[in-house]
A and B are shown apart, each in its own frame.
Chain A
Amino acid sequence: MNFVLPQFLPAVPEMFLLGMICFILVVDVFVSESHRLVTYWLSLASVAGAAWLTVAVAQQGSLLTFSGMFVNDAMGNVLKLFTYLIVAVVFIYSRDYLRDRSLFKGEYYILGLTALLGMLIMISAHNMLTVYLGLELHSLSLYAMVALDRESPVASEAAMKYFVLGAIASGVLLYGMSLLYGATGTLDLTTLGVHIASAPTASIASLFALGFVVTGLCFKLGAVPFHMWLPDVYEGSATSVTLFVGTAPKIAAFALFMRFLVAGLGGLHPQWQGMLIVISVLSMAIGSIVAIAQSNLKRMLAYSTIGHVGFILLGILTGTTAGYQAAMFYTLTYVVMAMAGFGLILLLARKGFESERLDDFKGLNERSPWFAAMMLMVMFGMAGVPPFVGFFAKLYVLRAVIDAGLTWLAVTAVAFTIISAFYYIRLVKLMYFDRAPSGARNVRAEFDVRWLLSGNGLAILVLGVLPGPLLALCARVIAF
Chain B
Amino acid sequence: MTGQFPILSLLLWLPIVGGVAVLAVGRLAPQWMRWTALLFALVTFAVSVPLWTHFDSSTAAMQFTEKLPWISTFNVDYSLGVDGIAMPLILLNTFITILVVIAGWETIQYKASQYMAAFLILEGLMNGVFSAVDGMLFYVLWEAMLIPMFLIIGVWGGPRRVYATVKFFLYTFFGSVFMLVAIIYMYVKSGSFDILGFQQMSLGMREQLFIFVAFLLAFAVKVPMWPVHTWLPDAHVEAPTGGSVILAAIMLKMGGYGFLRFSLPITPDASHALTWLVVGLSLTAIIYIGFVAVVQTDMKKLVAYSSVAHMGFVTLGFFLLFAIFEKSGGLAGTVMGVEGGMVQMISHGFVSGALFLCVGVLYDRLHSREISAYGGVVNVMPAFAFFMVLFAMANCGLPGTSGFVGEWMVILTAMRANFWVAFGAAFTLFLGAAYSLWLVKRVIYGPIGNDHVKEMKDVNQRELIVLVLCAVPVILIGVWPAPLLDVMHATVTNLVHQVVQTKLTGG
Contact = CB atoms under 8 A, between A and B. Distances in A.
Bound together: yes
A403 B184 CA distance: 9
A410 B184 contact: yes
Nearest to A417: B177
Interface stretch (A244-252, A276-284, A379-387): A379-387
A398 B155 CA distance: 33
Nearest to A475: B73
A427 interface: no
A467 B150 CA distance: 25
A414 B73 CA distance: 23
B64 to A, nearest CB: 22
B35 interface: no
Interface string A363-382: 00100010000001000100
A380 B147 contact: yes
Given A387-B140, A418-B177, A398 B71 contact: no
B55 interface: no
A422 B72 contact: no
A433 B180 contact: no
B151 interface: yes
A23 to B, nearest CB: 43
Contacts of A422: 166, 170
A468 B77 CA distance: 11
B181 A385 contact: no
A404 B140 CA distance: 23
Interface string B108-135: 0001001000000000000000000000
Contacts of A386: 139-141, 143-144
A274 to B, nearest CB: 22
Contacts of B174: 418
A398 B184 contact: yes
B185 interface: yes
Interface in A128-173: none
Contact of B146 (A385, A392, A396, A433): A385
A334 interface: no
Contacts of A468: 70-73
Contact of B169 (A403, A407, A421, A472): A421
A400 B174 CA distance: 21
Contacts of A395: 136, 180, 184
A253 interface: no
Given A414-B178, A433-B155, A407 B146 contact: no
Contacts of B387: none
Contacts of A433: 154-155, 161-162, 165
A21 B144 CA distance: 46
Contacts of B173: 385, 418, 421
Contact of A410 (B144, B147, B181): B181
A351 interface: no
A391 B151 CA distance: 19
A219 B261 CA distance: 46
B180 A385 contact: no
Contact of B140 (A391, A396, A414): A391
Interface string A264-283: 00000000000000000000
A467 B71 contact: yes
- Most chain B beta-carbon contacts within 10 A, residue among A386, A421, A425, A467: A386
Interface string A174-195: 0000000000000000000000
Interface in B48-67: none
B169 A425 contact: yes
A432 B155 contact: yes
Interface string B160-203: 01100110011001100110110011011000000000000000
A402 B181 contact: yes
A428 B177 contact: no
B74 interface: yes
Given A369-B114, A433-B162, A471-B74, A403 B147 contact: no
- Most chain B beta-carbon contacts within 10 A, residue among A380, A411, A433, A475: A433
Interface in A320-367: 365
A448 to B, nearest CB: 23
B155 A399 contact: no
Contacts of B136: 395
A399 B177 contact: no
B116 to A, nearest CB: 14
A444 interface: no
A369 B169 CA distance: 22
A395 B139 CA distance: 11
A429 B185 contact: no
B117 to A, nearest CB: 11
A411 B217 CA distance: 13
A376 B147 CA distance: 10
B350 to A, nearest CB: 30
Given A403-B188, A421-B170, A425-B169, A387 B181 contact: no
A399 B188 contact: yes
Contacts of A410: 181, 184
Contacts of B141: 386
B184 A399 contact: yes
Nearest to A401: B184
A442 B177 CA distance: 38
Contacts of A403: 188
Contacts of B180: 395, 398, 414
A91 B72 CA distance: 35
A467 B140 CA distance: 13
A417 B150 CA distance: 18
Contacts of A418: 170, 173-174, 177
B187 A399 contact: yes
Nearest to B151: A432
Interface in A444-480: 467-468, 471-472, 475
Contact of B144 (A387, A398, A425, A472): A387
A471 B170 CA distance: 29
A410 B182 CA distance: 10
A385 B170 contact: no
Given A385-B144, A471-B74, A425 B185 contact: no
A392 B143 CA distance: 12
A60 to B, nearest CB: 21
A471 B73 CA distance: 7
A422 B114 CA distance: 23
Contacts of A407: 181, 185
Contacts of A472: 72-73
A428 B74 CA distance: 31
A155 to B, nearest CB: 35
B387 to A, nearest CB: 33
- Most chain A beta-carbon contacts within 10 A, residue among B136, B151, B181: B181
A276 to B, nearest CB: 20
A81 B70 CA distance: 26
A334 to B, nearest CB: 18
A428 B150 contact: yes
Contacts of A396: 74
A258 to B, nearest CB: 19
Given A385-B146, A398-B184, A429 B73 contact: no
A369 B20 CA distance: 13
A414 to B, nearest CB: 4
Contacts of B184: 395, 398-399, 402, 410
Contacts of A415: 177
A392 B114 CA distance: 27
A386 B147 CA distance: 9
Nearest to A325: B73
A432 B154 contact: yes
The 4 A-B pairs with the shortest beta carbon distances in the complex, nearest first, are: A386-B140, A414-B177, A433-B154, A468-B71
18 contacts: A369-B114, A385-B144, A385-B173, A386-B139, A386-B144, A387-B140, A391-B140, A392-B71, A395-B180, A410-B181, A414-B177, A414-B178, A414-B180, A418-B174, A421-B169, A422-B170, A471-B73, A472-B73
Given A386-B141, A387-B140, A421-B169, 12 more contacts: A391-B140, A399-B187, A414-B180, A414-B181, A418-B177, A425-B166, A432-B155, A433-B154, A433-B165, A468-B73, A471-B71, A471-B73
